Amino acid sequence: MTAMPLVSVVMCTYNGEKYLGEQLDSIVNQTYKNIELIIVDDVSTDGTVAIVEDWMKKDNRIVLHQNKKNLGYNQNFEKAVTLANGEYISLSDQDDIWFPDKVARLLKKFDSDDVVLTHARSVNFKDGQLHYPKGKLLPPFKGNDPKKLFYDNQISGHKIMFRRSLLMKISPIPHNMFYDWWIGVLATCNGSINADEGYLVKYRIHGANNHINVPKRIKAKHIDHITAWKYFLQINEMKENDKVFLKELINVFEDHRKHNRLFDAKLFFFLFKNRKIIFANRRKLTNDFFNLKFISYYIITNFR
């Protein structure tokens, strides 16, 4: 790593005037100064562009690009990251607030050549109040095992930074794929992931975003897992043993979907056998009896 590498902060905007100013303020006032802020606006109809233009007069590190037609989030993101010039790329939502040392701390976690992506925690921010989770949390994902990311995405876009070397692997993002899920799996196949265990983002919760009051099982249905897994199989750099596991995962879920059983013994035993992989980001299950109850209930409520 060079002494002070350029970090490109990439933000996609769309009708974000209400909270955008606070986020821009938190980015330009990072303790790490060698940044550029690339903003790509997806044909906003409110005052978003005017706010950005005002900030550009105060800080020449901000660059604005305006789409001629609405691309939608994934396509706009693909365009935005290609405009980045930095050795490292950090992604930003338009409505969050970054802690002042977010860039500096994520950059430090590139502590070996094999680390291609770093991430951290975020704390929910609603109505001006921070809502830290209660109880002990599991450590954030680290390492290079894509199997632990196949079912649950543990890599959220607003908390990540990745090397430029990963950029050429990202496009095209498959249709109906969460872009950060795609990037996370790609990172494990092309290196490893490291994490800062601190809170570095105030993740704003409000009625206009897509994350408020949505049950987990409903969120999961926004993307068809089997379709996503088949896209993951196309990653050339994925190790053969990981592809074998993924193919088995696809087969057991396709069989379950085909027969639509209330309780599927084959699926149950597969999940139980691989529970420490498939449920890697869940709280540790206390004993085998609880494991049996949890997985039985999980199948009945999530896979119908």
Strand, helix or coil for residue 290: helix
CB atoms within 10 A of CB 150: 23
pLDDT by residue (tens digit) across 210-255? Answer: 443 333 333 444 568 899 999 999 999 999 999 999 999 999 989 9
The CATH code for residues 7-204 is 3.90.550.10
Report how far residue 90's alpha carbon sits from residue 67's, in angstroms, rounded to the nearest whole number. 21
Q: What pLDDT is attached to residue 148?
A: 95
**Which amino acid makes up residue 133?**
P
**Domain-wise residue ranges, the chain:** 7-204, 224-302
pTM (two decimals): 0.89
203 within 8 A of 158, measured Cβ to Cβ: yes
Residue partners of 170: CB distance under 8 A and separation at least 6: 78, 81, 179, 182, 183, 186
Cis peptide before 172, with omega less than 30 degrees from 0?
Answer: yes
**CA neighbours within 13 Å on the CB side: how many for 266?**
14
Query: Which residue, among 127, 99, 108, has the nearest Cα to 212 in the 3D structure?
Result: 127
**Which amino acid makes up residue 21?**
G
pLDDT by residue (tens digit) across 86-140? Answer: 999 999 999 999 999 999 999 999 999 999 999 999 999 999 999 998 878 888 9
152 within 8 A of 140, measured Cβ to Cβ: no
